[in-house]
Every structure is written in structure tokens, then in C-alpha cells.
Amino acid sequence: METHEINDRFLKFFEGQGHTRVPSASLILDDPNLLFVNAGMVQFKPYFLGEVPPPYPRATSIQKCVRTGDIDEVGKTTRHNTFFQMAGNFSFGDYFKEGAIERAWELITSSTSDGGFGLDPARLWATVYEDDSESAGLWRKITGLPTERIQYRGADDNYWDMGVPGPGGPCSEIYYDRGPEYGREGGPVVDEDRYLEIWNLVFMQEIRGEVSPKKGGPVLGELPTKNIDTGMGIERVAYLLQGVENVYETDLVRPVIARAEEFSGHRYGSNHVDDVRFRVVADHARSGVMLIGDGVTPGNDGRGYVLRRLLRRIVRSMRLLGVHEPVLPEFAKVVRDAMGPSYPELVSGFDRIEDIVRIEEEAFLSTLTSGSRIFDLAAEETKKAGGGILAGDKAFQLHDTYGFPIDLTLEMASEQGLSVDEDGFRTLMEEQRQRAKADAASRKSGHGDLSVYRQLLEQGGETQFLGYTDLQATAKVVGLLSGGVPVRSAKQGEKVELVLDRTPFYAESGGQVADTGVLLGSGVELKVHDVQKIVPGLFVHRVEVTEGEVGIDTELTGSVDQHRRMAIERSHSATHLVHAAVRGAYGKRAAQAGSLNSPGRMRFDFTTGGAVSADILTSVEEEVNDYLQTDVEVTSYVTTKDKALELGAVALFGEKYGNDVRVVDMGDYSRELCGGTHVRRIGQLGLVKLVADSSIGSGVHRVEALVGTDALRHVRKEQLLVSQLASTFKVPTDELPGRINDVLGRLRTAEKEIEQLRTQQVLGSAGSLAEKAQDVNGIALVAEKLGEGVDANGVRALATEIRGRLGARPGVVALFAPAGDKVSFVVATTAAARDKGLAAGKLVPSFAAVVGGRGGGKPDMAQGGGTEPAGVEQAIVALRDALAAT
């Protein structure tokens, strides 16, 4: 039975049981606790947590999932995968244990002709939580399973929660006995290779506290409504029904391995080492394509780093299989063909996927070439020093400077019989990460305990947002928090979080920054500094009490900073227009990959299939400004997502949309799903001026623009600068470029002449320096610290000249040139010295550490640099000692 049929049978069965079919959510839902969606229940969390009422009592889905904790184990065994599909049926206060067990058993044991999976009941086992005798009784009653095939397990195995305070409960699992050839008798508690888990049924019935019952924590009470969350592993059921050994041999994965076999000429199943590489390729190709399909692009942190790591492990594995040409686009095509029937967005968006993997592979192949050389030098130095551990700072340099992922460094080190100081590497990484993110933590709630916000939502309901039409409104305070703790009031000078029953203030989302303004009441005034949606539907205002005292039920009138809001709206509307123009220039593959809409300035990131032409960006700017002159009305309306897409509305990758969506139209030019605020007519933008563009990652480009009066000020500033330059050069403005080029040309000529004079001056000292050569163990040594101002070219030229003046003698020349807080050096050897076994490159390590640097080169000449010029004298002594010891 093909995997697509397994999916279809599962969904049809539960639809026939009154469940609403819900499409898979994106792998990158907006959940601060998750990097990727890793379970079928994730998109239903708001219903389980009581944040919003469920729109249906029963649901079923096939959810795409990615788990990244075991990336390093993928391929080494057949059990670890990063991407998988989880089939689930869910009940929100409807049926409970009995209904869940009945339905699961019926589907997996019914004959294929009756729409089931036809698994033999005699080979099925069940596990239950150690305190859940009720479930054990239901398994016996409903299925007829004998007592010995129902096993009790502890909390680590059979208690479920979300990892944070909230819902929890016992779970029950279904296992399939693969037979004695796969392991020992005795059920799942004895051998989970022979007894394969295929389905987990979670009975969500309790509330847990700060400490999970898995760790001995108490159950705080019963949930007001009991829920069902189940998950059936599609890939596991597939390899049972397809009669193969593991997921890598199923119909959706084996084609990738087959393509890798064609590329490499190796055969899967020939030896374990190659099999590991084939499995890495197959697993990561699926995961990579699915992640890109949901809007992830390769980067250096977060989701982007995980994707980059997956793609680079594929390339690395293929090189170890002997393949050096590009492979990722071909593997992407195989994944598209295999997964497309279930996920048609992979087909419609394939051009973008192919572009991203191609660009990433090209970049990594270049990285492999340069980084491998650096790694080989570091590994050689480590071995020569008698060490077996590559230093953490070396691994960090490979990562930070050359883009080498740490797992690749670990693999290459292992191949050379070395380990890596991972603790040192991760310390340096954490220091860098903390520096980069020092200013971000204070604004968001991140992974904190959100229960207090959920409680406010339950008590007061969702905040009514009035800001689409009103910038001023009267509201009532329904919640106050100080330091995350509920309080009854706050006095002048205090900074607190405030929740209103209704608000005109926009909460930061969709790339649009939050509103600011004031809240006024009887004898009380508050400044609104920020607004965030900590949990869906709840607007949390971060305020400072500037006068009086505010308390629960206080009535306040909120006034949004109108001037600032209008500037933000101009930026947001400009982003839509730039998006439309970019799509017109580059096609659908130019998908939005991020944006920031702040007062008077917008930032827009988009995916590309290659270099972005400056001419096209100029055309984009002209096209947008031409369209502004039409002054069309900006309209918005709410419709179903399917209807919006039929109308041609653009949906953004990674965004979570409900059944009803808000569409923003700017004539026929731009139509997008958007929850932000916008101008009333596009003529209000005035002017859109692109001021910066850059590449921010593989296949992702960023443009920045100023809008409205900010754009006008920028243009005026540029005009003034041009006028000043024209006055300085005493030419009309239209002749300015030619005049500047002429001056620059003459300047470059003068610099070359000065450089030649400096070189001649430096070379003039070659004779006197050669005469100062000291005899060290039969070697003529010239080791000198040069004055400031001699560049690297001059140092090399001088060393070559001195070496020539040493004639037929065995000689070594070492010159050090300080420049501020750095020092460069060159070592040169004569032919007679090389005959004695003295190689310039091998002499460098004898002194490089003293000047805080390193270097290398050929036997006749080597060079390098350091960061401690004060160590030059000591370095000369070290070199002399090294020659004396030869």
C-alpha cells in the first residue's frame, strides 16, 4: 500500500466518523517554544490550552513534522528521521478513552477492502500508564487483547504533557510485533526493535504544575473538558504495509537513495559506511525540501541554520561517496515527485525551492574548498604538537570565518583521528550569540510561562481591536501585570503590562511595529511604549504610569500617536507595492521572506534565484512611484482563505491563517492576505525611495526604502551633497561623475608612484641588512624588525632582495613589519638552506605564537601575521633558537 493511500485511508476513515479534515499546518508555526512543528497536535494547542474555542468538536489531519534533536544519529540507524508525517484524530471535549481506542483498533485491524489497514490483531500489543487501570480494562473489553499483551509503563514512557504547566494526562500506545527475527520475546517493555510503536493515544485529562509528573511533580487537578490527541506514525505503518525493513526502503524515501546510487555508482546495502551516507542523503533531502517549501531559507542561526546544516550534510555525504558535482537540485526533484501528490505546494513552488538549494550548494562547495585547506592546516598543527584535540577557537574560526558547520568539523576531525574541544567552541558561539541578541530579550516573552496571560484571556476574553478605523477609543482595564505577576493597581513611576477590553493600539505582528501613544483617565495618565500579542487574541500594552494611579476596571481613553501610525502605514503599504513589483520582475519565485514596517522606513526580504540586478531594482522603484500617481483606493475585506487564493491574493510563507482571512487590495496591482493597517489611498505614500540593497543569505535579498516625508528628506539631502560636490569640483552637476573619475584616476596613479618610491627606499636597505647576517649553526640569519609603514608587498620584496644578496650561503631571512596593533612577517630561505632541510613554512610555527598569529607557505617563502607586535623581539630569539637546535 503506497504512502499516499495510507494518508487517504486515515483521513477518510475519520471523516466518516464525524471529524473535520484539517490541512497540515506549516512547519514553522509562530510558537515561541518550538523551532519547528514536531507533532500533530501543535496546530491545535490553542484549543487544548483554552486560548480560543475549537471551531469543531472533532478533527483529523496528516501533519508534516520535523524533529532535529537527533540529526547526528540520522543514518547511523534506521530508526532516526528528521522529517516524518503524523496522522492524528482529535477530540475537544467530545469522545474520550473508549472512543479513541475503538476507532484506532477498527482502522488498523479492518480489512483493506473495508478501508482499513488490515494488520493482524494477533500481532498487536498495547501499553498503558502504570496508574491507568481504566485504559487497560478498555483495551481488554474493546479489542479482546489478552492481559499479557497489555503492559504497564512508568511516567517517562506513558505520561504526556507539553513540557510547560498546563494540560497533561496518561497515554496508551499500540505496538506491532514484527516477529522473532527482529528481537526478543516479551513485548515492548523488553524490545522496541521487534515491537514497533505505531500509534500513541493521549488522554488529556489533568492539569500539571511547574514540575511534570514525569519528574515526580503533582497533578493539580482535572481539566474542565477532557480531550483526545492521537498520533499514528505514517512512515512506520508504511514500511509494515509495504513489507520492507525500514522507512528508508518505503516508496517515498527509496527513490532518493536510488538517485544517489546513480550519481555515485555505489549500491545501498553493500556496506554500513556507505549505507549511513545514503540514509543521510535520503532523510535530509526530504526535510530540506519540506522546510524550504514552508518558507525557511538557509542562514546562520535558528531555523535557517538547521536547514543549512541538513543541506550541507547531504553535499558532504555525497562527496564521501565520490560525487563532487552539484546534486541538490536533482534530489529536490525526486522529493517533489514523491511528495507532491500529498503536498501540491511543492510542485507549484518548485522553482523557488530549486533556486535556493542550487545557490546554497554552490556557496558550500566554495566553502568546502577554502575551509578544508584551513582545517587540514589546523589538524596538521594539532598532530605535530602531539595533541589529539582540535582547539575550540580553531573550530569557531572555521564556523565564523569560513561557514563550516561544527558537525562537519567534527566529522572531518574524526576521520583524522582527532576530537574537537566542543565546550570551547560552544562557549565562543554563546558569547557571539549573546552579543548579537543582547537588545532583543527585553521586548518579547519568548519561552516564559504564559499561563498568567492565558488566565487573563479566559477571564476577560479576546481584546477587541478597533485600530483599523479608530485611533482613539475608550476602554476598561481588565488586567495588570508587574514583573509577570498580576496586581490590582499601579502608581506613578511604575512600568507595568496592561490589558484592555478593547484597544485602538496595533500590536506588533506581520512585520509591522507596534503603536505608541497615551492612555488618559480621571486623574491618571499612562504612556504606551509597546504592544504585543503574548498569546493569540490578547493585546498586552507595555506602559509607564506618568500620573496618578491605575487599577482594574479603570476606564481609560487611548490615543494612538497619529503621526507615527500614519508613517508606519505608509511603510506597510509601500512594502506591498514593492513586493508586487519584485514579483513582476522575478516571478513567483520572488517570495517574501520577511519585512519590517517602521515609521517612514520599510525593509523587505525576498527569495531569488540568483543575483539581483541594480537595473531591475531601479525599475522596481520607478514602477512603484509611477503607480502611486494613480492614487487608487486601498480596500480590505474578510473572506475565506480558499476564496482569497482564488482571487489571486498572495499568502506569505510561514504565516498561520485561519479559515477566514483579511485581504488588502491596492487596485489590481497588489492583493495580499494581511492583518496590518494601511493608508486609505496609495497617493498618501508620496514617494518611495530605495536606499539600500544587500544579500542576507543563500538566495535571500534585502531592500530597504524610505517612504513619504522621510524619502523626501533623503532626496533633499542627496541633492545638497551633489550640489556641494559640484561646487567643490567647480563643474556642473551633470559633469560631476566624469570629474570625480578623473580625480580618482590621478589619485590611483599617484599612489602607485608613491608605492614604487617606498619599495625602492625599502630595497635600498637590503645590502646593509644582508651584511648584518649572523651565523647560527652554520646558517646566515637575517632577522629584523622593520619600521612602520612597510606594507606586505614591500616586506616580501625586501626579503627576496636580501636572500639574493646572501648568495650561495645557507641562509634564512625573517622580516617583521608592525602596523598599529598588528604585525606581518615573511620568512625566506636560500637554496643551500633548503638543501639542509630548512623550509620557510616549517620555520613559522617556531615563533608565530609569540606574536599572536600564524602563517605558512612554501619551502622557499612563507608569510603570516599576528596581533601582538610587542612580541617581535622574542619571536626573533625563538627563531634563532630553533635554527641553533637543527
The beta strands (E) that lie in 617-752 are given as 634-640, 660-666, 670-673, 688-697, 700-707
674 labelled ligand-binding: yes
CA angle 232, 235, 236 (to 5 degrees): 70
CA of residue 660 relative to chain centroid, distance: 29
**H/E stretch holding 332:** helix 328-339
Q: What nine digits make up the cell of 660?
A: 477566514
4 assigned binding-site residue: no
- Find, among 657, 670, 642, the residue nearest to 582 by Cα: 670
- DSSP code, position 342: T
Using alpha carbons, list the distances in angstroms from residue 239 to 11, 196, 246: 19, 11, 6
Residue 81 in 3-state DSSP? coil
Type of residue at 67? R
Q: Could you tell me which of 251, 233, 238, 280 has the C-alpha nearest to residue 339?
A: 251
Does 171 carry a binding-site annotation? no
CB of 479 closer than 8 Å to CB of 458:
no
* CA distances (Å), origin 410, targets 391, 398, 419: 12, 11, 7
Cβ neighbours of residue 422 under 8 Å, at least 6 residues apart? 392, 395, 406, 410
Phi–psi pair at 19, nearest 5 degrees: -95, 145
678 marked as binding residue: yes
Contact 788, 797 (CB under 8 A): no
Q: What is the dihedral of CA 482, 488, 494, 495, to 10 degrees?
A: 40
Inter-residue long-range contacts of 832-836, CB under 8 Å, 24+ positions, other chains counted: 832/808, 833/779, 834/859, 834/860, 835/810, 836/778, 836/779, 836/810, 836/886
Cell numbers that stand for 881 in this block: 633558537
Give the span between the Cα atoms of 375 and 370, in whole angstroms.
9
Q: CA torsion, points 147, 151, 152, 156, in degrees to nearest 10?
A: -170
Distances from the Cα of 364 to the Cαs of 45, 261, 273, 310, 394, in angstroms?
38, 22, 23, 12, 19
Question: What SS3 class is residue 68?
Answer: coil
Grid cell locating 143: 479489542
- 195, 179 Cβ separation under 8 angstroms: no
Eight-class DSSP state of 787? P
What is the Cα–Cα distance from 882 to 289, expressed in whole angstroms?
Answer: 55
- 839 in the Ramachandran plot: left (φ > 0), alpha (ψ -120 to 50) or beta? beta
Distance of CA 250 to the CA centre of its chain: 29
Buried b / exposed e along 368-394 (16+ C-beta atoms within 10 A): beebbeebeebbebbeeeeeeebbbeb
Q: Residue 93 in contact with residue 118, Cβ under 8 Å? A: no
Between strands 20-21 and 58-66, the pairing is: parallel
Give the distance between the most distant pair of CA atoms in the chain. Answer: 103
Q: Hey, is 540 helix, strand or coil?
A: strand
- Helix/strand number for the chain, H first, E second: 26, 35
CA distance 824 to 820: 11
Burial of 802 (0-12, 13-18, 19+ CB in 10 A): buried
Binding residues: 572, 576, 674, 678
Binding residues for Zn(2+): 572, 576, 674, 678
